[in-house]
Structure 1
Amino acid sequence: MQPDPSRGRPDHNIVMWGAPGSGKTTLLAALFIALTRSDNDWKIIGSDPASSDYLIEKTNALLRGKVFPEANMAMERYHWTLIGPALRKLGFWGRKAKPRPPTRIGIGMTDAPGGWFDTGRRLAGGPSAPDGSEDPSRQELLDNLERSRGLVFLFDPIREFIIGDAFDHMHAPLTLLAERMLAAGEFADGKLPHHIAVCVTKFDDPRVLETAEKRGLLTVDVDDPYGLPRVTSEDTRELFHELCQVSASGNADMVLKSLDQFFHPDRIRFFATSSIGFYVDRRTKHFDWDDFQNMLPGEADEDSRIRGQLHPINVVEPMLWLGQRLAAARAATEGS
Structure 2
Amino acid sequence: MTADPAPARPGHNIAMWGAPGSGKTTLLAALFIALTRRNDDWKIVGSDPASSDYLIEKTSALSLGKIFPEASTALERYHWTLIGPAEPPDARWSRRPRPATPPRIGISMIDAPGGLFSAGRRRPGSTPDGQADLRRRELLDNLVDSRGVVFLFDPIREFEVGDAFDHLHAPLTRLAERMLGSDDFRDGKLPHHIAVCVTKFDDPRVLETAEKRRLLSANPDDPYGFPRVSSEDARELFRELCEVSASGNADMVLNALDKFFHRDRIKFFVTSSIGFYVDPRTKSFDWHDYQNLLPEDEGEDLRIRGQVHPINVVEPMLWLGERLTAGEPRAEPSR
**Normalization by structure 1: what TM-score?**
0.88
Q: Distance in 2 between matches of 1:235 and 1:301?
A: 37
Map 1:204-215 → 2, pairs under 5 A: 204-215=202-213
CA offset at residue 135 of structure 1?
A: 2.8
**Offset, 1:230:** 0.8
Counterpart in the other structure of 1:229: 227
User: Is there any run of 5+ residues in structure 1 with no aligned partner, and where?
Assistant: none
Between the aligned partners of 1:334 and 1:195, the Cα distance in structure 2 is 25
Alpha-carbon RMSD across the aligned residues, in angstroms, is 3.1
Secondary structure in 1 matching 2:158:
helix
Give 3-state SS (helix, strand or coil) of 2:165's partner: helix
| Alpha carbons 2:116, 2:135 under 8 Å: kept | no
SS at match of 1:32: helix
Structure 2 counterparts to residues 245-284 of structure 1, below 5 A: 245-284=243-282
Q: Indicate the SS of the match to 1:144.
A: helix
2:88 is the alignment partner of 1:84: no
Distance 1:91 1:282, change over 3 A: same
CA distance in 1, matches of 2:300, 2:125: 32
Q: For the structure 1 residues 49 and 133, does the alpha-carbon distance in structure 2 shift closer, same or farther, using more than 3 Å as the test?
A: closer
Q: Give distance in 2, aligned partners of 1:182 and 1:62.
A: 41
Secondary structure in 2 matching 1:60 = helix
What stretches of structure 2 of length at least 5 have no aligned partner?
Answer: none
Change (3 A) 1:122 1:141: farther
Alignment of 1:85-124 (within 5 A): 85-87=85-87, 101=100, 103-113=102-112, 115-118=115-118, 121-122=121-122
Write the letter of the residue equivalent to 2:276: F
Q: Which amino acid aligns with 1:285?
A: K
Question: Is the CA contact (8 Å cut-off) linking 2:89 and 2:100 kept in structure 1?
Answer: no
Distance 1:152 1:301 in 2: 33
Partner of 1:175: 173
What residue is the counterpart of 2:60 in the other structure? 60
Query: Counterparts in 2 of 1:132-211, with a 5 A limit?
Result: 134-211=132-209
Secondary structure at 1:111 match in 2? strand
| SS of corresponding position for 2:44 | strand
Shift of the alpha carbon at 1:106? 2.3
2:30 maps to 1:30: yes
SS of 1:230's equivalent in the other structure is strand
The aligned residue for residue 14 of structure 2 is 14
Judged with a 3 Å threshold, the aligned counterparts in structure 2 of structure 1 residues 117 and 83 are, in CA distance, closer, same or farther, namely same
Tell me the distance in 1 between the aligned counterparts of 2:123 and 2:275: 34
Query: Given the alignment of the two structures, is residue 43 of structure 1 paired with residue 37 of structure 2, yes or no?
Result: no
Using the TM superposition, give the Cα deviation of residue 102 of structure 1 relative to its aligned residue in structure 2, in angstroms: 5.8
Which residue of the partner structure matches residue 240 of structure 2? 242
Aligned letter for 1:83? I
Aligned equivalents of 1:153, 1:140: Cα separation in 2: 17
Question: Are the aligned partners of 1:12 and 1:149 in contact in 2 as well (CA < 8 Å)?
Answer: yes
Decide whether aligned partners of structure 1 residues 124 and 275 sit closer, same or farther in structure 2, where only a CA change above 3 A counts. farther
Q: Cα gap change, 1:300/1:256 in structure 2, threshold over 3 Å: closer, same or farther?
A: farther
Query: 1:154 and 1:127 mapped to 2: Cα distance?
Result: 32
How many residues get paired?
A: 330
Any idea what SS the aligned residue of 1:116 has?
A: coil
Is the 1:295–1:304 contact (alpha carbons within 8 Å) kept by the matching residues of 2? yes
Identity %: 68
